[in-house]
Amino acid sequence: MGDASIASRPNSSAVKNRDADKKRAALWKKQAKSFKLKDVGKKVDGVRFCAQDERFFREQTEVLPLLMGFLSRTKIPELVLETLTVMHTLLAPPTVTETTDPDLEVIHPEVNAGFMLERSMSADSVWKAAYIQLSSVLCLDDDMQKWVEANAQVRADILRYLIREWKIDLSTTASGGLTALHLAVKSDVNGNNLPVIDVLLSCSALNVNAVHEHILIDSLPIIPSGAQAIYLAGDDRKQAFVSSRSLDGKYHIILTEADMQEKVKLQQQERKHLTTQLAMEKSLERDLSTQLQQLEGELTQLHLRHAYNRAEIEGERRAVQSLEQDYASLIDQELELKRDCEVLELQLGTQQAQLREIRSQQLYLDFVSSAPLKRHMEEKKWQEQHAAVALQVQNAEVENRQLEDEIRKLEEETSNMEAQYARDVQTKQQLEASLRDIQANYEQFTDAFERTRTCYTPRPNWDSIVDETPELSVQKYQWGMAESSSTGDEAKSMINDTDKDKAGVLERLDSTYNIANKDDDQHADSGRTKTLLKRRVLKKIDVEKVVRKVWVEKRKREQRNPLGRFSLEQVLYEKLHRKYGFQPMIAEWGYNLLLALQLFSWDSEIEMFLLCLTGAVSDLVYVDQEQMIQGCQQLLLRLCELYNVESFVAERRVLLKDALVALRTYFPLKTSAQLQAIEQSIIRDMHKMKRGGNDSILYIDDILPLDVKYPLGFFVKTIRTQHFKEIHDYYALLLR
């Protein structure tokens, strides 16, 4: 067992290697893409990665032709310099250092050179004669030399390695019958090809005469005094230094001595040191220039800000001056108004004295003229009373004639009613006979109905549901239709009758699958094995999700196919079949779902789903609920449009009091307690959204979101519960 378990374990090192290979392949793919991008910085990073991972350089076949294309066709200085540096790194022998790091990448120049030679000589390669292109680029291309003047030593090292490893014949690398050395000297303008010339001289099998004729004569004008030159004299390799120009205009080559060689080496070292120092000074100068530009830009911004602040201060000063002028003018106006008030007060006193005098005169005149006026008013009143009495007499005569006509009509109607009464008595006798027949049929129907009630589900106590419902714990509903005061007896009878319904459903499931412990293994009398079902405890939130998904899917199917009717049981079965696919698993989850529905049947939505699933209630109850919710939504949207305010229409909001009035109109038969519960649910939804601001504004999306397939919330929960309770009361009235 121990060996088997050890052998079955995965090899951790192999897994790590596979992970490393996957990461390397992804990194290589990313770097290979960077070669073809237009971004120069990413191209430079890709070229630099070749020196970091030489396997990438060798194993990615398209990398080498791209590098050679950069050298021969690209005129971007950064890209060319980086390509030359990477080639130098790949072909130069590695520096031997003592290290204990086993993962350190070591450059293998001989492998890289062999790979480059093999690729250049391959018949199917798209890159032909790579060594010719590379050597020509390194020493013969004038345009390229303008971009790589600072890397002459790098080019010389690469060329030396190619001559030693590839055995390049320098006499055939150029065109027009000229040697590479001759063209290198001719193409040198400022003496930047001296390291390349040194390599060509050291690697060319030329005699002294050839050196003087073809090389030194042409190269002396650009070779500085004291520069080292190497030539062959027979089998003896000699070194010489170019002396200064003589009086006759000719140059002399002085054989080197030991001390002169040392001086030359010291001068070369000093030159390298000065070159490095110059590069550092230039870099420092660039940094300081950049900092200077930044400081100048900041100073310019400070000047602009200072000018802006001065302009603001000047504007504030002008505003203060204008306000002071306005204040002075207001003080003047106040003084003028005070003077006007004093004048008006004097006028008021004068007019009040005149008014008192006029009132005393009016009282005197009224006293003088009261006697004849009283007689005139009495005569006028008597005339008006006489005219009114005459008019009443005329109206009484007209009314008397109308009453006589109505009496005649009533006598005719009385005779007709007596005849109708006789006919109604006869009809009543016939209806009583029919009623006795109907009662007999009803008793038969009741017996048949009691036998078929086993397929229904029990109905719980609605009062206990209201007390135990978390969503309704803060409110008490006066359940009942507007026409009926109490249906408690009917509800109790339905609870007692429907206790048998759930048992009937469970018995139908138990006829195929048996709930038992996993340790029991028994067979039915018919010989069929009873499947063991695992008892799973479902949470209420999971049951609600299943209920809402099944309702939504059923509604989608009926919308796609208006002529088809899909039962709730069929939709639930297909959903379980898509999820599990195995009949025992479908039965197990269906049974557990049915038990969970029974457990949480105190919730109105879950109970309605259970009753519709078992056939006790029609599916049209849910359709009626959805139409009611859509009607409320359209009512509130229409109310929002009636405001004719753009902000209200755009944000879909209405006034809370208008929404409550509209809902009372939409639900005319609801009791005051039900309407109060609806109002409380709306306020709870508003507080739940935490919009802040004015509480008198109602956002329609807070209680009835437009883009939700199955809307949730306290308002929707309340109207669904009230609707289902009313359906329950209606069923109770029908079954009474």
* Digit-coded pLDDT (tens) for 310-348: 999 999 999 999 999 999 999 999 999 999 999 999 999
Q: In whole angstroms, give the CA distance from residue 585 to residue 573.
A: 11
- The pLDDT mean for the chain works out to 71
Instruction: Give the pLDDT mean for 140-156.
Output: 53
DSSP 709: S
When mean pLDDT is compared across 171-185, 294-308, 528-542, 598-612, the lowest value belongs to 171-185
Q: Which residues make Cβ contacts (< 8 Å) with residue 584, sequence separation at least 6?
A: 513, 531, 533
Q: Which residues make Cβ contacts (< 8 Å) with residue 45, sequence separation at least 6?
A: 31, 34
Neighbours of 58 (CB within 10 A): 20
Output the pLDDT for position 461: 44
When mean pLDDT is compared across 129-138, 437-446, 567-576, 668-677, the lowest value belongs to 129-138
Q: Looking at per-residue confidence, does 661 or 124 come out higher?
A: 661
Instruction: Give the pLDDT mean for 507-530.
Output: 37
Nearest-CA neighbor of 200 among 671, 210, 255? 210
Domain residue extents for the chain: 12-95+104-204, 205-256, 277-455, 462-734
CA 76 to chain centre: 42
Output the pLDDT for position 292: 92
Nearest-CA neighbor of 575 among 599, 598, 552? 552
Output the pLDDT for position 239: 46
Please report how the helices 77-91 and 109-121 are oriented relative to each other, as an axis angle in degrees rounded to 10. 110
Of all residues in the chain, the percent with pLDDT exceeding 90 is 12
Q: Looking at per-residue confidence, does 476 or 677 come out higher?
A: 677
DSSP 213: I
Q: In whole angstroms, give the CA distance from residue 688 to residue 717.
A: 14
Q: In whole angstroms, give the CA distance from residue 624 to residue 719.
A: 12
Output the pLDDT for position 458: 37
**Cα-Cα-Cα-Cα dihedral sign, residues 551, 552, 553, 556:** positive
Q: Which amino acid is at 577?
A: H
Grouping H, G, I as helix, E, B as strand and the rest as coil, residue 253 is strand
Backbone angles phi and psi of 147, in degrees to 5: -95, -20
pLDDT digits (tens, 9 = 90+) for 41-52: 888 888 888 888
Highest mean pLDDT among 210-219, 244-253, 335-344, 680-689: 335-344
Beta strands 531-532 and 513-514, pairing class: parallel
Output the pLDDT for position 155: 66
Output the pLDDT for position 203: 62
Q: In whole angstroms, give the CA distance from residue 188 to residue 243.
A: 20
Nearest-CA neighbor of 535 among 588, 492, 468? 588
Q: In whole angstroms, give the CA distance from residue 315 to residue 717.
A: 61
Per-residue pLDDT band at 139 (split at 50, 70, 90): low
Per-residue pLDDT band at 228 (split at 50, 70, 90): very low
Q: Is the pLDDT of residue 65 over 70?
A: yes
Output the pLDDT for position 140: 47
Output the pLDDT for position 194: 64
For residues 139 and 154, the answer to whether their CB atoms sit within 8 Å is no
Output the pLDDT for position 191: 57
Q: Is the pLDDT of residue 26 over 60?
A: yes
Q: In whole angstroms, give the CA distance from residue 606 to residue 596.
A: 9
**How far lies 365's CA from each of 355, 356, 368, 373, in Å?**
15, 15, 5, 12
For residues 696 and 655, the answer to whether their CB atoms sit within 8 Å is yes
Q: In whole angstroms, give the CA distance from residue 197 to residue 159.
A: 10
Per-residue pLDDT band at 200 (split at 50, 70, 90): low
Q: In whole angstroms, give the CA distance from residue 632 to residue 704.
A: 9
Output the pLDDT for position 565: 75
pLDDT digits (tens, 9 = 90+) for 431-460: 999 999 999 888 887 776 565 443 333 334
Q: Write down the residue that tokens 């003084």 correspond to.
A: 335
Grouping H, G, I as helix, E, B as strand and the rest as coil, residue 237 is strand
Q: In whole angstroms, give the CA distance from residue 548 to residue 131.
A: 75
Nearest-CA neighbor of 459 among 419, 416, 488? 488
Output the pLDDT for position 695: 72
Number of H helices, E strands in the chain: 27, 7
Q: Looking at per-residue confidence, does 497 or 675 come out higher?
A: 675
Grouping H, G, I as helix, E, B as strand and the rest as coil, residue 723 is helix
Highest mean pLDDT among 326-340, 360-374, 614-628: 326-340
**How far lies 252's CA from each of 215, 242, 244, 260, 569, in Å?**
14, 6, 8, 16, 112
pLDDT digits (tens, 9 = 90+) for 87-117: 777 777 655 444 444 444 556 777 777 777 6
Q: Is the pLDDT of residue 353 over 50?
A: yes
Nearest-CA neighbor of 568 among 620, 533, 627? 620
Q: Is the pLDDT of residue 246 over 50?
A: no
Q: Looking at per-residue confidence, does 524 or 164 come out higher?
A: 164
Q: Looking at per-residue confidence, does 408 or 152 come out higher?
A: 408
Per-residue pLDDT band at 694 (split at 50, 70, 90): low
- β-bridge partners, 697: 655
- Burial class, 297, CB count within 10 angstroms (exposed 0-12 / middle 13-18 / buried 19+): exposed
Please report how the helices 488-510 and 714-734 are oriented relative to each other, as an axis angle in degrees rounded to 10. 100
